[in-house]
Amino acid sequence: MNEHVETPPVAIEDLPLLRASGLTRFYGDRIGCRDISLSLWPGEVLAIVGESGSGKTTLLNCLASRLVPTAGCVEYRMRDGTVRDLFRMSEAERRVLMRTDWGFVHQNPIDGLRMSVSAGANVGERLMAVGARHYGKIRGEAEHWLERVEIATDRIDDDPRAFSGGMRQRLQIARNLVTNPRLVFMDEPTGGLDVSVQARLLDLIRQLVADLGLAVVLVTHDLAVARLLSHRMMVMKGGVIIEQGLTDRILDDPREPYTQLLVSSILQV
């Protein structure tokens, strides 16, 4: 007689935080991305790499619900454990998600900051968007996060226009992290910065990701950035994923000719 053995329940932390299935986006006849499926787990950093025009930014924007896909779905596991299809949520629900559980770090920090208000106000605004109203607590939290991203707290009232590119990017990161998100999307976060500034910023991002247990979807053309920050990597070409796996495995032993070209730097991206 066969005994029925119950399958133990799956712990919430063992389930994907984000899952995409059959994600496709067309621009007329042109392919942005096609039939892409992926899962992202809590605390994991996934790098999406490829040359300009490969579709990596289109994919990122679909995952972040900033762009509506032509086909496919993106599911997200909420804090209460329920799984929601992002594109079946209302616009208001997605906006709340973007202000609380998610962050988005743009390549150009001007796109992610309000340049007409102070550094402290940039950080504090996001807190106010989730209901904070006590001025002293908001300012204190802003000072704390400026310190964490290595911006002197005596610059809290300075205008971001007076900051260098690297400082603006650190300020954008502080603005994103102040609400303790679980997932952050990063689009070329060190692009356009001097090498020395880039190195300091990468060290800061790596430390914050580890300390906060963040899940990150990172788009970059720089394989050194992907190696330093990511656990897994997806290589895109022509809107499709041509190779994926652990970052070290792909960079040390690329299997696809295109990936081999990327790694050997023969193909300039």
CATH number at residue 27: 3.40.50.300
| Same domain for 174 and 129 | yes
pLDDT at site 267: 44
Same domain, 190 and 82: yes
Which residue, of 180, 211, 231, is where some domain finishes? 180
pLDDT higher than threshold 80 for residue 95? yes
Q: Which residues contact 261 (CB under 8 A, 6 or more apart)?
A: 267
Asked if 38 contacts 46 with a C-beta cutoff of 8 angstroms, the reply is yes
Give yes or no: residues 185 and 256 share one domain: yes
Domain ends where: 132, 149, 180?
180
Q: Look at residue 8 and tell me whether its pLDDT is greater than 80.
A: no
Residues with Cβ within 8 Å of residue 10, at least 6 apart in sequence = none
Q: Indicate the pTM of the whole model.
A: 0.92
Q: Is the pLDDT of residue 12 over 80?
A: no
Asked if residue 5 belongs to a domain, the reply is no
Asked whether residue 5 carries a pLDDT value surpassing 50, the answer given is no
pLDDT in tens, 114-161: 999 999 999 999 999 888 889 899 999 999 999 999 999 999 999 999
Q: Look at residue 191 in the predicted model and tell me its pLDDT.
A: 87
Q: What is the predicted pLDDT for the residue at 43?
A: 96
Q: Which domain holds residue 204?
A: 15-101+181-264
Q: At what angle do helices 135-148 and 165-177 cross, to 10 degrees?
A: 130
Residue 118 counted as domain residue: yes
Residue 164 has pLDDT above 80, yes or no: yes
- Is residue 269 domain-resident? no
Instruction: Choose among 163, 118, 64: nearest CA to 56.
Output: 64
Quick one: pLDDT at residue 192?
Answer: 84
Nearest Cα residue to 108 out of 150, 160, 70, 165: 165
β-sheet with 240-246: strand ranges across: 102-105, 183-187, 215-220, 45-49, 232-237, 240-246
Whole-number pLDDT of residue 66: 96
Count of domains forming the chain: 2
Q: Is residue 207, in this structure, part of any structural domain at all?
A: yes
Mean pLDDT score of the chain, rounded to an integer? Answer: 92
Most confident of 34-38, 94-98, 189-193: 34-38
Residues 192 and 73 placed together within one structural domain of the fold: yes
